[in-house]
Amino acid sequence: MGQGRDPAVAEVREVRTVARRLDGSGSRPNKCLRGRGKYLNGVVSDRGAWNRLLHDALAAIQGGTLSKVVIARSVDLEGLQAFDVEQVFDSLRRIAPGSTAFLIRGTDGTAFVGASPELLCRCDGSLLETEALAGSASQANAAVLLQSDKENREHRCVVDGISSALGPFSEAVSIEGSPTLLGVPHLVHLRTPIRARLKEGSRISQVLAALHPTPAVGGTPKERALSFLAEHENLDRGWYGGAVGWVGEHSMELVVALRSALLRANRARLFVGAGIVEGSTEEGEWEETEAKGLTIREALSGGGSDALP
């Protein structure tokens, strides 16, 4: 028999190659912060740097360069003893049962762990499902989230960005009419399911490369937002915001690596971010990122909020 190349196997390999490129360092070649700052028992995060980054983002938006950009920051924690990564993973599954918990072990003794509420892409043959997940409020303010002009503008950027990315590869794209509320620990998000029927000949790897990073983790316009982050964010996102999941011959399911931390021995680096649009404020975006970090902090402390550092 000939040694012909199996197209299905080749496509799976290409999807995996694309997925490996969809981590933070591949999407945003930013300067690494490792080694900067001092680890303490407690929390280390530079609010001054965050405020400067937010003002740079708002200036770009007000100047018409961007409509939205998602900025991120890291939070460094030091435990009293080495973190048990499997215990952290189990705690995340219990704390956030509606999210997808993940654990990736590095070859250098690190572990990347998190619980993502956001589906990046689910494919079964020609049928594709994804979602716009953007716009946030505390659980106490959930009732007003659907009416918030600022949060709905942020959400619409993601809906439009995903629809535009899928268009060239799809026979049809279906978007549910109005966003609904998705409750996760400590927060509520606006969510809009999106479905597409892929054109014959469309390759999942191409769709994935066009789709990610969505405006929920990058911004819009996409290339301008990524250029802004590369120039201003000054953060090595690593796996944060990348694609995590599984890939088969005719199907796959990937989530966005959010609500996550990089662990090594007794040190943890958490990653949190917020979508910036016109109307974003220092206090509001800081509080949103603080809330987004609570789930992983609870898991690191053994699952109880009373034990948070």
Domains of the chain, each with CATH number or no CATH = 7-301 (3.60.120.10)
pTM for the complete prediction? 0.85
Q: What is the pLDDT of residue 204?
A: 86
User: Could you tell me the pLDDT band of residue 302, with boundaries at 50, 70 and 90?
Assistant: confident
Q: Which residue in the list 11, 31, 38, 68 is annotated as catalytic?
A: 68
Higher pLDDT, 243 or 29: 243
pLDDT of res. 248:
82
Q: For residue 173, what are its two tokens?
A: 């794209």
What is the overall mean pLDDT for the chain?
87
- Evaluate whether 190 touches 133 at the Cβ level (below 8 Å): yes
Active site residue 68: yes
Task: Give every CB contact of residue 145 below 8 A, 6+ residues apart in sequence.
Answer: 135, 136, 137, 151, 181, 188, 190
CB-based contacts of 30: which residues, under 8 Å, 6+ apart?
Answer: 24, 229, 230, 233, 234, 235, 236, 237
What distance in Å separates the CA atoms of residue 124 and residue 196, rounded to the nearest whole number? 11
Q: Percent of the chain scored above 90 by pLDDT?
A: 75
Three-class secondary structure of residue 297 per DSSP? helix
Active-site residue, 154 included:
no
SS3 298: helix
CB 292 within 8 A of CB 96: no
Identify the CA nearest to 263 among candidates 290, 230, 297: 297
* Residues paired with residue 101 on neighbouring β-strands, in sequence order: 115
Q: Give the pLDDT confidence of 287-301 residue by residue, as tens digits.
A: 999 999 999 999 998
To the nearest 10 degrees (0 to 180), the angle between helices 47-62 and 222-232 is: 150
Given the residues 118, 131, 151, 154, select the one marked as catalytic.
118
pLDDT tens, residue by residue, 188-230: 999 999 999 999 999 888 899 999 999 999 999 999 999 999 9
